[in-house]
Amino acid sequence: MKYKFLGHSGLKVSQLGFGAGTFGGQGEIFAAWGQASQAEANTMIQLCLDAGINYFDTADVYSHGESERMLGKALVSERQNNIISTKVGIRTTDHINDAGFSRNYLTSAVEQSLKRLGTDYIDVLQLHQFDSFTALAQLMKSLDELVRSGKVRYIGVSNFSGWQLMKAQAIAEQYGYEKFTVNQVYYSLIGRDYEWELMPLNHDQQIGAVVWSPLGWGRLTGKFDRTHPIPAHSRLHDTAQFAPPVNEEHLYQVIDVLRDIADEAGFSIPQIALHWLLQRPTVSSVLIGARNQAQLQENLMAQDIHLSDQQIEKLNQVSAVYPPYPYYPYWNGQFTERFNELVTSQFTQ
């Protein structure tokens, strides 16, 4: 396993991490993600540990907290050497205040996550989405206090826009509060929007990107394409309305090239799609989503692939989408070269 720095933290994380969203099997969205028992979860976590994974992600909202509980149990004897990342802020109950980042809710959300995880500290606490109703100065102070209390070691965001993250970061800088170390982002061969604003921001602020849904919510698995429909028993089939949107023709073009390269290299489509992300600038860790041991074992092999420059370039080209204003100047040749020079120097050991 290769390890990369998590932003400016000095902490090294495995370039492949594990997403425990498939643990728990409860609720409208998560029932379709997976139904692993605790025994199966334990075996999957052991496979991850054997492969050198030290970064494990979950959220309070996954399966009504069951994902946190199962991950905590599976990691209990290996707690110290591993990094647990969780996320709070999405509504968890019908109680009027159980959402967002009021100090009231944030504090109790962290306490509840600690209890479910069975630990006395959270390595990485992320804000699951932006909350426009909580003053950022107050939020950054609350986060700073959580870090000072020892209950949280690093803070991060997920699904923030550039201005939201940068404004919060600037407030933390201004008042001497803890700054963000992690940005958990959607990034895949069928979703490169991350590169327009957030990648340069992460580079500038030395924030490590942790990638969610690296297979585009299960679309880059090889199980469906132009001629094969989405399998009935798959997460994508049951939860497509929650998946990051993609143009269908663009998706099929990417799958066609992925299939060609997978055949040439002797690996599978998901393995090639994961591998492409491992070599992208600013990416600290890519979260594997696997509903069972077989998928996990297959995906872990993404780190063993060697693709030629030409194969990588084919993937770059077929997945490229012309960005909207004001991002298109990045496509001007000279600027792109300078930008690439800047970002490729970062986050590799």
Ligand X SMILES: NC(=O)c1ccc[n+]([C@@H]2O[C@H](COP(=O)([O-])OP(=O)(O)OC[C@H]3O[C@@H](n4cnc5c(N)ncnc54)[C@H](OP(=O)(O)O)[C@@H]3O)[C@@H](O)[C@H]2O)c1
Active site residues: 62
Residue 310 burial (CB count, 10 A): 8
Choice from 119, 158, 303, 311 touching ligand X (CB under 6 A): 158
Residue 221 lies near ligand X (rule: CB under 6 A): yes
Residue 281 lies near ligand X (rule: CB under 6 A): no
Query: Among 66, 22, 14, 24, which residue's Cα sits nearest to residue 296?
Result: 22
* C-alpha radius of gyration, the chain, whole number: 19
Residue 7 lies near ligand X (rule: CB under 6 A): no
> DSSP letter at 249?
H
Between 145 and 225, CB nearer to ligand X:
225
Between 208 and 289, CB nearer to ligand X:
289
Q: CB of residue 256 vs ligand X: minimum separation in angstroms?
A: 18
Interaction mask 78-97, ligand X, x per CB under 6 A: ---------x----------
Q: CB of residue 332 vs ligand X: minimum separation in angstroms?
A: 32
Residues 224-243 that bind ligand X (CB under 6 A): 234-236
The maximal CA–CA distance of the chain, rounded, in angstroms, is 56
How far CA 198 is from CA of 58, 122, 158, 163, in Å, comes to 22, 25, 11, 9
Residue 293 burial (CB count, 10 A): 14
What is the C-alpha to C-alpha distance for residues 205 and 167, in angstroms, rounded to an integer? 12
> Burial code of 133-143, b = ≥16 C-beta within 10 A, e = fewer?
ebebeebbbbb
Between 141 and 259, CB nearer to ligand X:
259
Phi/psi of residue 247, nearest 5 degrees = -70, 130
Residue 63 lies near ligand X (rule: CB under 6 A): no
Judged by CB under 6 A, the number of residues near ligand X is: 30
Residue 212 lies near ligand X (rule: CB under 6 A): yes
What is the C-alpha to C-alpha distance for residues 103 and 225, in angstroms, rounded to an integer? 46
Residues 165-184 that bind ligand X (CB under 6 A): 184
Residue 291 lies near ligand X (rule: CB under 6 A): yes
Choice from 26, 298, 327, 343 touching ligand X (CB under 6 A): 298
Of all residues in the shown chain, the one whose CB is closest to ligand X is 289
Residue 295 lies near ligand X (rule: CB under 6 A): yes
Interaction mask 20-59, ligand X, x per CB under 6 A: xxx----------x-----------------------x--
Residue 65 lies near ligand X (rule: CB under 6 A): no
Stretch that binds ligand X, among 19-27, 72-80, 91-99, 311-319 (CB under 6 A): 19-27
Residue 287 lies near ligand X (rule: CB under 6 A): yes
What is the C-alpha to C-alpha distance for residues 59 and 293, in angstroms, rounded to an integer? 21
Pairing between β-strand 55-57 and β-strand 16-19 as defined by DSSP bridges? parallel
What is the C-alpha to C-alpha distance for residues 169 and 206, in angstroms, rounded to an integer? 11
Q: What dihedral do alpha carbons 308, 309, 314, 317 form, nearest 10°?
A: 160
Residue 158 burial (CB count, 10 A): 22
Residues 308-337 that bind ligand X (CB under 6 A): none
Q: Which amino acid is at 61?
A: V
Q: Which residues bind ligand X (CB under 6 A)?
A: 19-22, 33, 57, 87, 158-159, 184, 212-218, 221, 223, 234-236, 270, 287, 289-291, 295, 298-299
